[in-house]
């Protein structure tokens, strides 16, 4: 049939075929691309209200005004005003933040210009729905115990304890807070550490386990208070009931207040802490963990505290908390 068509009709037919074919596959391509774009859009927006609302999945009222619905930052600082300014500027914009307490242990009180700057930053960067309170907690003595001093007028149950040199996205802070709400009696943090039995030294002796041992084994029994949530009742417990000998040791050695806090909470609850998955960004590297002999000093602390508590209260665990919104697999 086709062979018998005259040239003009044959070429017209051919062109029609090509045109229909091209248009057809263009349509299909267009459809596929459209579907793909819609899927990507939907997936990208799955946690936003848009796509969920379409399905009738609307969340409940905001409870961030109850004492359980907000948190306070307790920030330890020491003569690093630039870092302090950066930190405060950042955290003040985080949702659900109620107040910031700066633990001040320097011999001189904070300068007027520093106070003016920080108050200005807090006013400027606070979210519209929350006026964050900024308080300097001035201490006479320079001691690492100051970071866990009881704060009498704290309005929230949750304390977010953080060093002045750590910048952490607001979304991550909020997620860790969510995790803490599920387990308000334990410590919830981003830097896990472990205690290991020291088989060389014999019974009842322990070794401090750093990041590599935690990563390798997936086990931990402490989270460091340089970035952790805990209940405000542990500030009172630390202030009133931490053995004086441990407090003196911490003041003298300028170390291990975080291990002491982990011992205190585990001793009171028999409960392991919770490690939240996330990366932290440290701006300064002058922390004590970068000093040589760090691991040995921490091991010494662990064994000293076991002696004082008359047992090893820390409870090991393997749990890691992740954000369900970022995880697609069952």
Residues that bind its own copies (CB under 8 A): 46-47, 51-52, 55-60, 63, 66, 68, 175, 178-179, 181-186, 194-200, 207, 209, 213, 215-221, 270-275, 277, 279, 312, 314-330
Active site residue 258: yes
- 285, with CB counted inside 10 A (0-12, 13-18, 19+), is exposed
Closer residue to its own copies in complex, CB, 204/287: 204
- In whole angstroms, the minimum distance from the beta carbon of 204 to its own copies comes to 10
Q: Based on CB atoms, which residue is closest to its own copies, 104 or 206?
A: 206
Q: Tell me the HSE value of 133 on the side-chain side, using a 13 A CA sphere.
A: 14
CB of residue 313 vs its own copies: minimum separation in angstroms? Answer: 11
> How far apart are CB 196 and its own copies at their closest, in Å?
5
Long-range pairs, 233-238, Cβ under 8 A, ≥24: 233/157, 234/148, 234/159, 234/261, 234/264, 234/265, 234/268, 235/74, 235/148, 235/149, 235/150, 235/151, 235/154, 235/159, 236/150, 237/264, 237/268, 238/145, 238/148, 238/149, 238/150, 238/264
Among 163, 164, 165, 258, the one annotated catalytic: 258
**Residue 161, both tokens:** 């304890």
Residue 148 or residue 175: which is nearer to its own copies going by CB?
175
- Three-class SS of residue 123? helix
Q: How far is the CB of 297 from its own copies (least distance, A)?
A: 17
Q: Which is nearer to its own copies, 100 or 266 (CB)?
A: 266
Q: Just list the catalytic residues.
A: 258
């Amino acid at each position: 049939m086709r062979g018998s068509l005259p040239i003009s009709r044959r070429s017209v037919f051919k062109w029609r075929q090509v045109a229909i074919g091209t248009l057809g596959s263009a349509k299909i391509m267009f459809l596929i691309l459209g579907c793909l774009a819609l899927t990507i859009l939907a997936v990208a927006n799955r946690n936003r209200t848009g796509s969920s609302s379409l399905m009738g999945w609307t969340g409940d009222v905001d409870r961030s005004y109850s004492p359980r619905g907000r948190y306070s930052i307790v920030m330890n600082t020491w003569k690093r005003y630039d870092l302090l300014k950066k930190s405060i500027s950042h955290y003040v914009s985080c949702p659900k933040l109620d107040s910031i307490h700066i633990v001040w242990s320097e011999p001189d009180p904070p300068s007027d210009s520093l106070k003016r700057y920080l108050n200005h930053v807090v006013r400027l960067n606070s979210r519209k729905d929350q006026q964050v309170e900024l308080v300097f907690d001035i201490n006479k003595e320079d001691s690492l115990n100051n970071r866990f001093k009881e704060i009498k007028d704290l309005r929230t149950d949750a304390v977010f304890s953080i060093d002045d040199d750590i910048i952490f996205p607001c979304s991550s802070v909020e997620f860790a807070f969510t995790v803490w709400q599920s387990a308000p009696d334990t410590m919830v943090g981003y830097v896990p550490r472990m205690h290991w039995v020291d088989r060389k030294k014999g019974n009842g002796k322990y070794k401090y386990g750093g990041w590599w041992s935690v990563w390798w084994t997936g086990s931990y029994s402490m989270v460091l208070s340089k970035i952790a949530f805990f209940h405000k009742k542990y500030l009172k417990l630390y202030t009133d009931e931490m053995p004086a000998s441990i407090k003196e040791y911490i003041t003298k050695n300028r170390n291990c207040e975080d291990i002491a806090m982990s011992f205190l909470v585990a001793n009171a609850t028999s409960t392991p802490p919770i490690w939240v998955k996330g990366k932290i960004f440290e701006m300064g590297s002058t922390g004590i963990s970068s000093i040589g002999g760090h691991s040995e000093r921490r091991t010494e602390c662990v064994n000293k505290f076991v002696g004082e508590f008359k047992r090893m209260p820390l409870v090991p665990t393997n749990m890691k908390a992740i954000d369900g919104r970022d995880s697609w697999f069952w």
